[in-house]
Amino acid sequence: MPRKHQTEKLLTALRQRPMTAAEIWRELSIARASARVYDLRAAGYDIRSQEITVRNQDGEPCRVARYSLGSAQQSLIPSHPGRGVITQ
């Protein structure tokens, strides 16, 4: 799946609810969630990450990031001009 398509798909999902990388992989088939989050941040989106504790397949606790969309506004100046992949 092309990177731009994955980034748009992730943005749409994060507008609905926060998601972990495992949920992004399972529900959206995006293997490199952190890379797509980077792309969204570079495009000016306020993507936040919160560390949470979940249980792994063996029932042991482990810490993961839960990504969420902050403000619905896209900043006017991307943090990395020319690197953004989403336009509005």
What is the pLDDT, as a whole number, of residue 30?
96
Note whether residue 78 is domain-resident.
Answer: no
Q: Rounded to the nearest 5 degrees, what angle is found at the Cα of 13, between the Cα atoms of 6 and 48?
A: 95
Residue 4: predicted pLDDT? 84
Number of domains in the chain: 1
Q: Which domain holds residue 16?
A: 3-69
66: nearest Cα among 86, 50, 85, 47: 50
Please give the model's pTM, rounded to 2 decimal places. Answer: 0.75
The reported pLDDT for the residue numbered 73 is 52
What pLDDT, in 10s, does the model give residues 24-45? Answer: 999 999 999 999 999 999 999 9
79, part of any domain: no
pLDDT tens column, 12-26: 999 999 999 999 999
CATH code (residue 54): 1.10.10.10
Q: What average pLDDT does the segment 58-81 reach?
A: 76
